């Protein structure tokens, strides 16, 4: 095996990884990838597939094995050490927040790591978990170079007006601004469109990254103009356990009712969204299969607010040529796509029912004024490429 790049994407309940071989011309070849899922739950599992899709590992884990992210890292590291003959030349990490100082991928130094640790309050559900493997590698394998790739970086092209809140300028200077997230996913979609749908790639595109976390982004010629998430990953579209757009007065009311900071944070990050609204689940499949009125309310709310935000993003794009669905729900749920697009019928959006049911690349009807597509995302591929580019910049 040639020299390899390891990509790590550590979340709150999963640890994803991919391995890429690095050729002599610095080209990347995907070798294998997998994840430890269900961390901290009763259905934890470890799965790995190679580049042909062949399953290399598929086993359930005891709760004690993947009780936390540290346990998941041990499982991943032990398996990789047996599979890869030499340590990776670098590890690329998805880091949700780069703050106001970092707008491109960087080699992680101790100083950079301390800065990224200081941003945990801006993304408490993600940043600490993203950085956990970085700390472990620094401690056990300090010779391995590590690269931080930021979800916020893609959106730094946005206009100054878009990045501001209507607050005194001193707050903007202190970092209180609209950052936007899911940037690695949107960057992949922008690049992928140039390969598979070049006729729309240079136009006005809105990509809807719909998963447990959800957002939408308006792009013109592959450049971010506006996105729904803002200062933190709480803003914008309703999500699995996060409320999305919320009147700040609600938080003031919670404080007045005696709720503590930690109680409010837990509610907003873990107890809201479609889980909180339905009182049933944060899984769209469960809600779609339910006859409960609360499930219907959550689904209707999600589809309506998503469509509303897509329509609003047209202001930044100055129109709309194509709508792209991506991420777990966006790629795999024809019903959710239908519900969202029904709210956009007034814009001339029409779906082809058969193509939508088949999760086809193009799911819009030939008579649709706006083309609609399903494009699987691959954040890890973007991280791998950024890692190599950052290493080359250090040589």
Q: CATH number for the domain including 88? A: 3.30.420.40
Residue 166 lies in a domain: no
* Number of domains within the chain: 2
Q: Band the pLDDT of 14: cuts 50, 70, 90.
A: confident
Judge if 136 and 216 occupy the same domain: no
Query: Range of 317's domain?
Result: 198-374
Q: Band the pLDDT of 1: cuts 50, 70, 90.
A: low
Over 80: is that where the pLDDT of 13 sits?
A: no
Backbone angles phi, psi at 12, to 5 degrees: -80, -30
- Which residues, in sequence order, are bridge partners of residue 350? none
- In angstroms, rounded to a whole number, what is the distance separating the alpha carbons of residues 195 and 203? 14
- Which residues, in sequence order, are bridge partners of residue 34? 17, 48
Q: Band the pLDDT of 191: cuts 50, 70, 90.
A: very high
Residue 296 lies in a domain: yes
Judge if 256 and 151 occupy the same domain: no
Judge if 214 and 334 occupy the same domain: yes
Judge if 151 and 217 occupy the same domain: no
pLDDT number for residue 85: 81
Judge if 259 and 132 occupy the same domain: no
Over 60: is that where the pLDDT of 46 sits?
A: yes
Least confident of 22-26, 96-100, 153-157, 375-379: 22-26
Q: Are 129 and 10 in contact (CB under 8 A)?
A: yes
Judge if 300 and 370 occupy the same domain: yes
Q: How many CB atoms lie within 10 A of CB 286?
A: 14
Residue 306 lies in a domain: yes
pTM, full prediction: 0.93
**The two structure tokens encoding residue 370:** 């706006």
User: Average pLDDT for residues 189-197, to the nearest whole number?
Assistant: 97
Residue 190 lies in a domain: no
Q: Which residues contact 215 (CB under 8 A, 6 or more apart)?
A: 180, 181, 182, 208, 209, 227, 228, 229, 236, 237
Judge if 390 and 368 occupy the same domain: no
Q: Band the pLDDT of 393: cuts 50, 70, 90.
A: confident
Q: Band the pLDDT of 134: cuts 50, 70, 90.
A: very high
Residue 177 lies in a domain: no
Task: Give 56-100 pLDDT, tens digit per residue.
Answer: 999 998 888 888 888 888 899 889 988 888 889 999 999 999 999
The percentage of residues in the chain with a pLDDT greater than 90, rounded to a whole number, is 82
Backbone angles phi, psi at 243, to 5 degrees: -75, -20
- In angstroms, rounded to a whole number, what is the distance separating the alpha carbons of residues 179 and 230? 5
Q: Which of 50, 58, 151, 283 is catalytic?
A: 151
> What is the chain's mean pLDDT, rounded?
94
151 assigned to active site: yes
Residue 171 lies in a domain: no
Residue 330 lies in a domain: yes
Kindly state the helix (H) or strand (E) to which residue 195 belongs, with its residue range. Answer: helix 183-196
Q: How far does Cα 209 stand from its chain's mean position?
A: 7
Residue 114 lies in a domain: yes
The percentage of residues in the chain with a pLDDT greater than 70, rounded to a whole number, is 99
**The two structure tokens encoding residue 350:** 């029409």
- In angstroms, rounded to a whole number, what is the distance separating the alpha carbons of residues 369 and 378? 28
Judge if 341 and 223 occupy the same domain: yes
Judge if 68 and 125 occupy the same domain: yes
Judge if 137 and 245 occupy the same domain: no
Judge if 390 and 346 occupy the same domain: no
Judge if 116 and 216 occupy the same domain: no
Over 80: is that where the pLDDT of 12 sits?
A: no
């Amino acid at each position: 095996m040639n020299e390899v790049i390891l990509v790590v994407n550590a979340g709150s309940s999963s640890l994803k990884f991919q391995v890429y071989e690095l050729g002599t011309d610095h080209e990347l070849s995907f070798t294998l990838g997998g994840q430890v899922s269900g961390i901290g739950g009763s259905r934890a599992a470890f799965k790995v597939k190679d580049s042909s899709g062949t399953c290399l590992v598929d086993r359930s884990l005891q709760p004690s094995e993947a009780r936390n992210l540290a346990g998941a890292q041990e499982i991943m590291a032990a398996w990789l050490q047996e599979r890869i003959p030499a340590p990776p030349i670098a590890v690329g990490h998805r880091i949700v927040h780069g703050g106001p100082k970092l707008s491109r991928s960087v080699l992680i130094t101790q100083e950079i790591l301390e800065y990224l640790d200081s941003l945990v309050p801006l993304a408490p559900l993600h940043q600490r978990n993203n950085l956990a493997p970085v700390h472990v590698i620094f401690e056990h394998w300090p010779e391995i170079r590590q690269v931080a790739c930021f979800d916020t970086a893609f959106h730094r092209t946005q206009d100054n007006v878009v990045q501001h809140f209507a607050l005194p300028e001193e707050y903007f200077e202190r970092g209180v601004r609209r950052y936007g997230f899911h940037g690695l996913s949107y960057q992949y979609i922008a690049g992928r469109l140039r390969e598979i749908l070049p006729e729309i790639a240079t136009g006005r595109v809105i990509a809807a990254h719909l998963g447990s976390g959800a957002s939408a982004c308006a792009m013109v010629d592959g450049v971010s103009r506006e996105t729904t998430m803002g200062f933190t990953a709480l803003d914008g579209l309703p999500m699995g356990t996060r409320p999305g757009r919320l009147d700040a007065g609600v938080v003031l009311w919670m404080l007045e009712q005696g709720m503590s900071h930690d109680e409010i944070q837990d509610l907003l990050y873990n107890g809201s969204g479609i889980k909180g609204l339905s009182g049933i689940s944060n899984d769209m499949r469960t809600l779609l299969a339910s006859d409960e009125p609360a499930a219907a309310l959550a689904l209707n709310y999600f589809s309506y607010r998503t469509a509303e935000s897509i329509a609003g993003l047209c202001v930044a794009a100055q129109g709309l040529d194509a709508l792209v669905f991506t991420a777990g729900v966006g790629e795999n749920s024809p019903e959710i796509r239908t519900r969202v697009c029904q709210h956009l019928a007034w814009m001339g959006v029409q779906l082809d029912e058969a193509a939508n049911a088949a999760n086809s690349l193009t799911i819009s009807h030939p008579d649709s004024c706006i083309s609609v597509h399903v494009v699987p995302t691959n954040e890890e591929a973007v991280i791998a490429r950024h890692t190599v580019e950052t290493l080359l910049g250090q040589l």
